[in-house]
Structures are given as structure tokens and as C-alpha cells.
DNA sequence: CGCTTCCTGACT
DNA sequence: AGTCAGGAAGCG
């Protein structure tokens, strides 16, 4: 569920409450959430007593820097939420863990499907316990290192669909199903176009579209279809601003054609068949 | 490279 | 009862 704009919104809403605070207690209601160390007691022992330096983000990973140089990492996957509050009596349905801070506030980890989890890697950058996906993650799409040339290099010679390539976090960090569909529509590219088929001008369009939809998503504090909330429990408003995702059967805002839904890269995919024509048959000029 | 799997709930 | 869900590791 949460993609880069949603995770960034959680980061921004949690940071003022967490930074400078010391962890005084960690409890797990579901031990599966402790991804590393996998023993909840050991996880708690490694987090209790630490002070939060900064709440950061890399792709869809929340990286919470601690005063011992290590970090506490959270990945929300499909249905995870982090909720900060001051009510010790509060208990959300599907609450899986609680981290209590030294001002008596708490951060609850809530996850209906239990696909997400928390990591407390051994010390040192990329120490044991660092989630595998964080190693080899592609560039931050809103950072200076993500350029049209970098994107072009990652699309070149690829037979896979541009949708599958963009969903791969090694290509660029933080895109998920919603923002990929939105970016492809904005760039007027059919999701089944192969990476190798994209001409330089199309790659530049895609690069700009990716940035634009993510910036808009952050500004709207993310998409809240069902479960997503920010760190203080508020829904985002990006769901009302989507142009293709969730709009199958409705008219394209750009051309009036009916938005269709198909399965691409194993995912439900919405696109406009007129704005996003299928791949040209001829090989691209170089 | 695409497909399956993890998990649990909501919807048709 | 069957299908689907915004993620991503693992498999063939």
C-alpha cells in the first residue's frame, strides 16, 4: 500500500515526535514483525535505551537513526501503518508492536496482513540484519542522482515491460503499483512497452513524469484507499487526484477515452488506450 | 523474465 | 466460493 509519498508522509509526521526521544520499552504482540533480530526479546533489548537521532527514509524504508550509530528500520509492505499517540490505553485492531518513548508517548506498528516488519541491524552500515532490499536499492527518484541518463541506462536492452522495470526497486527506489501507473499515463507510455523500445525523448518524459507524480503525491500526503494513514492517523488526499489508478471504466481526463484495466507484470494495471498506445512495431532509431 | 508465495481481510 | 489487494523475495 504505502509507496514513496506515503512513507515520506509518515516520516514527516513522525519525525518531530521521535527525534530526541529515548526508547523505554518495546513490546511485540506478534513475533513475526521482528524481522531481525527475529527473537522479540533480543530485538527489544537492542532498541530499549537508545535515543532517536533522526527519522529518515530510503525508498519505501523508514530508517530511524539511533544514538549508538545503528538504526531501527521499518518496512510497511502492503498494509503496515505506524501510529504515534499519547494514549497508553489505545490499542488498534491488528496492532503488532509498540515502542514506548521517554515522554510516555508511543509508536504502534499496525499491520493486518503481517507482511511488513521491523529491523534492528547489527552496527555498521549494511551490518547483518539489514533488509536485503535496502542493499542494491536504486537511486532516490527525487534526488540529484536520478537523471534521465541513469533511467535510460536501466531501461536499455531490457526485454521486460517498462511497468515491471519500474516496479523493480533496483531501477529506482520507492515506486509501487499506483505511482507507476500514474507516471506511465503522464508520460503517455503503454505499460507493456519494453525497456529497450523506449526512445530518448520517451525516457525523458518518463523521468519527468515519475518526479511529478511523486511530488504531487507527497504534497497531497499520499493515497489512502483503505488502510494507509500518516504517523498521526490522518488519511491523505492523493486518492482524489489519481488519473488512471482505480479509474477503470471512467473517462480519461486528457482525451475522454475509457480507462481500461489489464494485468501487467502480475499486477492490476490501469491505463488509457488512446493516450498510451502500444509499442511501435519497428525497432527504435538510435 | 514472469509467476508464486507470504498473510489476512474485503468484496463480488 | 472465488477473486483481489498499493510489496517484494524466491523460484523455475
- The percent of residues in chain A predicted with pLDDT above 90, rounded, is 86
Q: With cut-offs at 50, 70 and 90, classify the pLDDT of residue A239.
A: confident
The reported pLDDT for the residue numbered A280 is: 63
The distance (Å) linking the CA of A267 with the C1' of C5 is: 10
pLDDT at A212 over 50: yes
Percent of chain A whose predicted confidence (pLDDT) is above 70: 95
Exposure string of A251-275, with b = 16+ CB inside 10 Å and e = fewer, is ebeeeeeebbbeebbeeebbbbeeb
pLDDT greater than 50 at residue A243: yes
- Side-chain-side CA neighbours of A253 within 13 Å: the count stands at 10
Residue A207 Cβ < 7 Å to strand C: no
Chain C footprint bases within 7 A of protein beta carbons? 4-10
Q: What is the pLDDT of residue A174?
A: 96
Here the cell at position A229 is 494513514
Contact between the CB of A204 and strand C at under 7 Å:
no
What pLDDT does A279 receive? 63
The nucleotide lying nearest A228 (C-alpha to C1') is C6
Nearest to A122 by CA among A80, A174, A62, A73: A73
C-alpha cell at A259: 480507462
Which nucleotides in chain B have some atom under 7 angstroms from a protein Cβ?
A: 1-10
C-beta neighbour count of A126 within 10 angstroms: 10
| pLDDT given at position A1 | 67
A265 CB closer than 7 A to any strand B atom: yes
CA of A274 to C1' of B6 (A): 37
Residue A286 banded pLDDT, cuts 50, 70, 90: very low
Q: Assess whether pLDDT exceeds 90 at residue A282.
A: no
pLDDT tens-place string over residues A101-120: 999 999 999 999 999 999 99
Strand C reaches within 7 A of the A159 CB: no
Q: How far apart are CA A184 and CA A275, in angstroms?
A: 10
Residue at minimum CA to C1' distance from nucleotide C7: A77
Query: Which nucleotide's C1' sits nearest to the alpha carbon of A177?
Result: C6
Count, residues in chain A: 286
pLDDT at A281 over 70: no
Query: Does at least one atom of strand C sit less than 7 Å from the CB of A267?
Result: yes
* C-beta of residue A61 within 8 angstroms of C-beta of residue A86: no
How far is residue A167's CA from residue A120's CA, in Å, rounded to a whole number? 26
Q: Which residue is closest to C6 in terms of CA–C1' distance?
A: A1
Question: Residue A262: which pLDDT band, with cuts at 50, 70 and 90?
Answer: very high
Judge whether residue A75 contacts strand C, using its CB and a 7 Å cut-off.
yes
CA distance A91 to A96: 10
**Average pLDDT of the residues of chain A:** 93
Residue A240's pLDDT band, with cuts at 50, 70 and 90, is confident
- Read off the pLDDT of residues A147-203 as tens digits, 9 standing for 90 and up: 999 999 999 999 999 999 999 999 999 999 999 999 999 999 999 999 999 999 999
Q: Within 13 Å of residue A81, how many CA atoms lie on the same side as its CB?
A: 23
- Per-residue pLDDT tens over the stretch A40-82: 999 999 999 999 999 999 999 999 999 999 999 999 999 999 9
C-alpha–C-alpha distance, residues A203 and A205, integer Å: 5
Q: Which residues of A are catalytic?
A: 2-3, 60, 267
Amino acid at each position: 500500500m504505502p509507496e514513496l509519498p506515503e512513507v515520506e508522509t509518515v516520516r514527516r509526521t513522525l519525525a518531530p515526535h521521535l527525534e530526541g526521544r529515548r526508547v523505554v520499552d518495546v513490546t511485540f504482540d506478534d513475533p513475526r514483525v521482528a524481522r531481525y533480530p527475529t527473537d522479540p526479546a533480543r530485538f527489544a533489548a537492542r532498541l530499549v535505551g537508545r535515543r532517536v537521532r533522526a527519522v529518515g527514509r530510503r525508498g519505501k524504508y523508514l530508517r530511524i537513526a539511533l544514538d549508538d550509530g545503528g538504526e531501527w528500520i521499518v518496512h510497511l509492505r502492503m498494509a503496515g501503518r505506524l501510529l504515534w499517540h499519547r494514549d497508553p490505553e489505545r490499542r488498534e485492531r491488528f496492532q503488532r508492536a509498540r515502542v514506548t518513548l521517554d515522554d510516555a508517548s508511543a509508536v504502534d506498528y499496525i499491520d493486518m496482513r503481517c507482511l511488513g516488519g521491523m529491523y534492528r541491524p547489527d552496527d555498521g552500515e549494511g551490518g547483518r540484519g539489514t533488509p536485503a532490499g535496502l542493499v542494491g536499492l536504486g537511486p532516490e527518484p527525487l534526488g540529484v542522482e536520478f537523471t534521465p541518463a541513469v533511467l535510460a541506462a536501466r531501461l536499455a536492452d531490457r526485454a521486460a515491460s517498462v511497468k515491471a522495470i519500474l516496479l523493480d526497486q533496483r531501477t529506482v527506489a520507492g515506486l509501487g503499483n499506483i505511482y507507476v501507473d500514474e507516471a506511465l499515463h503522464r508520460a503517455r507510455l503503454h505499460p507493456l512497452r519494453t525497456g529497450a523500445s523506449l526512445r530518448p525523448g520517451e525516457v525523458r518524459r518518463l523521468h519527468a513524469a515519475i518526479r511529478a507524480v511523486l511530488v504531487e503525491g507527497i504534497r497531497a500526503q499520499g493515497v489512502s484507499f483503505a488502510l494507509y494513514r500518516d504517523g498521526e492517523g490522518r488519511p491523505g488526499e492523493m486518492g482524489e487526484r489519481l488519473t488512471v489508478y482505480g479509474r477503470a471504466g471512467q473517462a480519461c481526463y486528457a482525451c475522454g477515452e475509457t480507462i481500461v484495466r489489464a494485468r501487467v507484470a502480475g499486477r492490476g494495471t490501469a491505463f488509457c488506450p488512446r493516450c498510451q498506445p502500444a509499442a511501435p512495431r519497428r525497432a527504435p532509431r538510435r
